[in-house]
Amino acid sequence: MGFFTDTSVCIGCKACEVACKEWNLVPEDGLDFTAMSFDNSGGLGADTWRHVAFIEQRAPIGVQETGVGRPEGAPDPVDLGMPSFEPPGASADGDATGEFRWLMSSDVCKHCTHAACLDVCPTGSLFRTEYGTVVVQEDICNGCGYCVPACPYGVIGQREDDGRVFKCTLCYDRLGAGMEPACAKACPTDSIQFGDLDELRERADERLRGLHEAGVGSAQLYGRDPGDGVGGDGAFFLLLDEPEVYGLPPDPVVTTRDLPSMWRHAAVAAGALLAGITATFLGRRR
């Protein structure tokens, strides 16, 4: 089971953030706006399991279109005075006027097929559930913090006053009761869709085709490919720009892919140390 988050219909309402906090009893971690956008949760961490990113762009496809074409002979879009880095009218070269688009995207733990956090956990507190998701068993976690730098997406975090790590569980408890996760339940536009991954991938492909046919060339799926560096994400996305613009790594690779090679190099180094120390005792006594 997993999520397909279609960011092209996200309206940035943060219902998912609120529903997640409410259901999972995630503590409050500050409501400070980042002073860059309407984003007031900053990024994923121990106390933010759903994070809505807001990206403001002056891009030439800024008509937030609801499928209704603009009538013939209608006036060009006007500058709405959207937030910008220069005073209003400064960039009035005609091209940039009124051309503004607002990308919103609800980010979440990706529940990777090859999950680095699960691989590096030395206590076995991170485990793979019967739904194929990745969950922290909180009564086992000893707060070593190894999973935090291991995650290529910057999802899992350590709660300071508690010491343990926390992340999205894909509402493990709700799934057990036959309900869908709280964020998907709360999403008013069906931007967050929950279901069987195969079905969601079909859905996503169809949606992508539709958007490309409508001329939205920048639309792309992220984390859908089971052949990528993490074996495909359990929570994948439809984005309208490059992943890094949303704060996502463009080509994440699970760190343990290189681990066999790391062990080999370390074994050679350990052997070299033993041989080198032995060599220091050879020769005449000085």
Partner 1 sequence: MNTSDVTKEGIRGARPGREAVTGADSALGGQRRERPADDGGGRGSEFGTYYDRPVLNRITWRPRDIAGYLFLGGLAGASSALAAGADLTGRPGLARPLRYTALAAVTGSLAALVNDLGRPDRFLHMLRVMKWTSPMSVGTWILVCYGPLAGAAAASQATGVLPGAGRLAGLGAGAVGPAVSAYTAPLICNTAVPAWHEGYREMPFVFVGSGAAAAGGMGMITAPVGQAGPARRAGAAGAAVENAALAVMERRMGMVAEPYRTGRSGTLMRAAKALTIGGAVGALAGRRSRAVSAIAGAALIAGSACTRFGVFAAGQASVADPRYTVVPQRRRLRDREQAAQQEE
Site for partner 1 in 202-261 (CB under 8 A): 202-203, 206-207, 210-211, 214-216, 240-242, 244-252, 255-256, 258-259, 261
* Residues 93-112: x where in contact with partner 1 by CB under 8 A, - otherwise, as a string: --xx----x-----------
Taking the CA atoms of 140, 145, 146 and 152 in sequence, report the sign of the dihedral they define.
Answer: positive
Per-residue burial over 26-63, b if 16 or more Cβ lie within 10 Å, else e, is beebeeeeeeebebbbbebbbbbbbbbbbbebbbeebe
Rounded to 5°, angle at Cα 7 from 9 and 75:
50
Hey, what are 43's tokens? 């990024």
Window 10-29: residues binding partner 1 (CB under 8 A)? none
Beta-ladder partners of 246: none
Which stretch, 17-25, 128-136, 194-202, contacts partner 1 (CB under 8 A)? 194-202
Shortest distance, position 62 Cβ to partner 1, whole Å? 7
**Number of residues this chain uses to bind partner 1 (CB under 8 A):** 115
Which stretch, 14-22, 24-32, 128-136, 192-200, contacts partner 1 (CB under 8 A)? 192-200
- Residue placing its CB nearer to partner 1 in the complex, 92 or 214: 214
Shortest distance, position 130 Cβ to partner 1, whole Å? 17
Under rule CB under 8 A, residue 75 binds partner 1: no
Shortest distance, position 28 Cβ to partner 1, whole Å? 19
For the beta sheet containing 192-195, the strands, ordered from the edge strand earlier in sequence to the opposite edge, are 192-195, 2-6, 235-239, 220-222
Q: Where are the alpha helices (DSSP H) in the chain?
A: 15-24, 116-120, 147-150, 172-176, 182-186, 197-213, 259-280
Window 39-68: residues binding partner 1 (CB under 8 A)? 42-45, 53, 55-67
Beta-ladder partners of 194: 3
Window 119-148: residues binding partner 1 (CB under 8 A)? 119-125, 140-146, 148
